[in-house]
A and B are shown apart, each in its own frame.
Chain A
Amino acid sequence: MNATPYSYQLQPGKVRAEFFRLLPISLFVVAFGAAFGLAAVQKGLEPLQALLMSTTVFAGASQFAAVDMWGSEVPLIPLIAVVFAINSRHLLMGASLYPMLRDMSPGRRYGLVLFLTDANWAVSAQDYQNGKRNLEVILGGGLAIWIAWIIGTWLGVYFGGLLQDPQSLGLDMVLGCFLLAMALGGNKSPRTLVAWAVAAISSLAAWKWLPPNTHVVVGALAGGAIGFFWLEKKPDHEDQVSAEEETSA
């Protein structure tokens, strides 16, 4: 056991701490879950089917889109296309965690990303930018959000609209505000700001002119391209500064 070549060990205490760190946002996830549960039964899903979907799919926006397509029949290819397009941001999110995930055994690596979702990933990505390796939040925070999503769905299917109009309280903006706060909490070098501008413009253009639900991937890749061509000079990367003057000791 001690001979493991994988250096990243999840710390149980930190996993627990990250669970509690994301509990506040999880309360709002309960509200979204209730909205989903209600929408699902209104579209004709049985309560247990809605619960099963929330438990195994665990991707809110795509679940809303799927039950929107529900009828006596569901067209298969459009369903797959919509679910894939909405969730395609997971591809990029998972890839961005790879520098940390590669220090884990493949079993743990893929087990961990079962819990990958916007909020816990945003925390992990922000911590990484600030020099902290935090995969514990993917597990601990992910568990908090997953449980909240299931409880919310359960409330929604059995008790319906607990909140008559969550929008009037601004609750639909919780995730957006959370993600924005995470983005602005990261480092803001000139390079990052240029990437953000490029990401903003290309995601808007994609949202306007490209097929629906492609804007996140398009914007993120366009922003990433800035990073690919514009390398920040770090003294610890000697291959990058070899042609420059070494100033640090």
Chain B
Amino acid sequence: MTIETTTAGILALIAIMTLVTLVTRFGGVFLMSFVTINPRIESFINTMASSVLIAIIVPMAFSGDAGSLAALVVTAVIMLAIKKPLPAIAAGIAAAGLVRYTGITTL
């Protein structure tokens, strides 16, 4: 099944995308309202929350070029060293720019 990209069709597609995204924003909250939060569930939620970030970042590091890997490594090192997010992020971005400027694409 396809939708033609006429004006009405595009509006329908945007409406569908909005609805699907809304389901994802509401769905987790809605499902949790049926769950009793005990220490085990809370422990699951907390560990899952920090794992979301790792699960976004690690494949990003492996699928990107040398520049994106450099950005993440530099951010991690500085963040662990001085524990201040803004300098860590700025240095990471600068590292990506620098590595790409040198023309290195893979390590």
Which residues of A approach B to under 8 Å, CB–CB? 24, 44-46, 49, 52-53, 56-59, 62-63, 66, 70-77, 79-80, 83-84, 87-99, 101-102, 109-110, 113-114, 116, 118, 122, 125, 128-129, 167-174, 176-186, 191-192, 195-196, 198-200, 202-204, 207, 215-228, 230-232, 234, 237, 239-240
Contacts and interface: CB of A to CB of B under 8 A. Distances in A.
Given A45-B10, A49-B11, A70 B24 contact: no
A176, A178, A240 — most chain B CB neighbours (10 Å): A176
Contacts of A176: 56-57, 60-61, 68, 71-72
Contact of A73 (B2, B86, B96): B2
B80 to A, nearest CB: 6
A75 to B, nearest CB: 5
Contacts of B29: 94-95, 97-98, 101, 109-110, 113
Contact of B13 (A74, A101, A231): A74
B60 to A, nearest CB: 5
Interface string B1-39: 111110101110111111011111111110111010101
A63 B20 CA distance: 12
A98 B32 contact: yes
Contact of B2 (A74, A179, A217, A231): A74
B17 A170 contact: no
29 contacts: A49-B11, A57-B21, A74-B9, A76-B2, A76-B3, A79-B17, A84-B20, A87-B20, A91-B28, A94-B29, A95-B28, A95-B32, A96-B46, A96-B48, A102-B32, A110-B29, A122-B53, A129-B46, A176-B72, A181-B88, A183-B50, A184-B76, A200-B54, A207-B63, A220-B51, A223-B47, A223-B52, A224-B45, A237-B39
For chain B, which range describes its interface: under 10, 10 to 19, 20 to 34, or 35 or more residues? 35 or more
Given A129-B50, A181-B79, A228 B24 contact: no
Given A180-B79, A223-B47, A228-B43, A92 B28 contact: yes
Contacts of A191: 47
A191 B48 CA distance: 12
Given A110-B26, A181-B79, A207-B59, A24 B97 contact: no
A129 B13 CA distance: 38
B8 to A, nearest CB: 11
B100 A99 contact: no
Contacts of B48: 92, 95-96, 220-221, 223-224, 227
Contacts of B57: 176, 179-180, 183
Given A95-B29, A181-B88, A181-B89, A80 B49 contact: no
A74, A118, A168 — most chain B CB neighbours (10 Å): A74
A167 B44 contact: no
A216 B46 CA distance: 16
